[in-house]
Amino acid sequence: MKLTRRQTVFLLGGLLVLLVAWWVFSAEPTGPEATPEPVHLVTVDRRPLDITVEASGSLRARDQVVISNTLEGRTTILYLVEEGTMVAKGDKLIELDASTLQDRLIDQQITVQNAEAAFVQARENLEVVKNQAQSDVDEAEVMLTRLCWR
């Protein structure tokens, strides 16, 4: 007996439905796994609820200020406040070795004083030269007037 194409499709579809049904029903647990868990009843009463959270991480200051050295060259730290120390306005946080800078300041002050002295000397020399030039002009005018009157 030869089956038509439609009969073959129905036959294969029916077999597929039977296989799926067998698989679904055979996968259902039986035995001790099929018994439900026993229900535990507890009496509820009102109490304060303590919530404890354990977490790991790191802490950062909310108002963090970064202090950096704006001086040129290298400097030595003489004093540094301990990390985590509470400080108030005006407390010393860090002290740098300023001896090199103080030496440079003194050298620059000497250079400025020498330049000011040289400026004063040059101004006085300018006045002397002006006076000498004026005196020479006056003397030349006097000689010119003498020559013209002769």
* All residues at 6 or more sequence positions from 34 whose CB lies less than 8 Å from its CB, including other chains: 28
Which pLDDT does position 61 carry in this prediction?
A: 77
Q: Where are the chain's structural domains? A: 98-149
Q: How far apart are CA 121 and CA 52, in angstroms?
A: 83
- Higher pLDDT, residue 27 or 133: 133
Token digits for 17?
């439905």
Helix (H) or strand (E) holding 88: none
pLDDT in tens, 16-50: 998 888 877 776 565 556 566 778 888 888 889 88
Which pLDDT does position 10 carry in this prediction?
A: 86
Contact 75, 97 (CB under 8 A): yes
Q: What is the pTM of this model?
A: 0.40
Dihedral sign from CA coordinates of 8, 9, 11, 12: positive
Which pLDDT does position 74 carry in this prediction?
A: 80
